[in-house]
Amino acid sequence: MIVLKLFAQLAEKARTRSREMAPAPTPGALLERETSLSFINPSSVRVSVNGRWAQWTTPLKDGDEVALLPPGNAL
């Protein structure tokens, strides 16, 4: 499983701060697959994988933690 963490207004809008999701090849693919998060615009959100800034194309593996942070948030 992948643990997805959402922060600030992203968490408020999704009504959750964290959820477990089936693995996906990249954070971008994870976001595309999850229709309940379609309100998130990747060009205005920072992504991290396992506590490190990442790209939407960063490869994921089972057990990774993906965090989505709106602009202006520090990791």
Tokens of 61: 């593996």
Q: What is the CATH number of the domain that holds 34?
A: 3.10.20.30
- Residue 74 resides in a domain: no
Phi, psi of 49 (to 5 degrees): -125, 120
Identity of the residue numbered 57: T
Residue range 17-32, pLDDT digits in tens:
999 999 999 999 999 9
pLDDT, one tens digit per residue, over 54-67 is 999 999 999 999 99
In a domain? residue 61: yes
Asked, for residue 9, whether it belongs to a domain, the answer is yes
Question: Burial of 70 by CB count in 10 Å (0-12 exposed, 13-18 middle, 19+ buried)?
Answer: middle
Residue 8 lies in a domain: yes
- CA-nearest of 59, 62, 56 to 3 is 62
| Single pTM value for the model | 0.90
Q: Which domain holds residue 62?
A: 2-69
How many domains in the chain? 1
Residue 40 lies in a domain: yes
| 41 contact partners, CB below 8 Å, separation of at least 6 | none
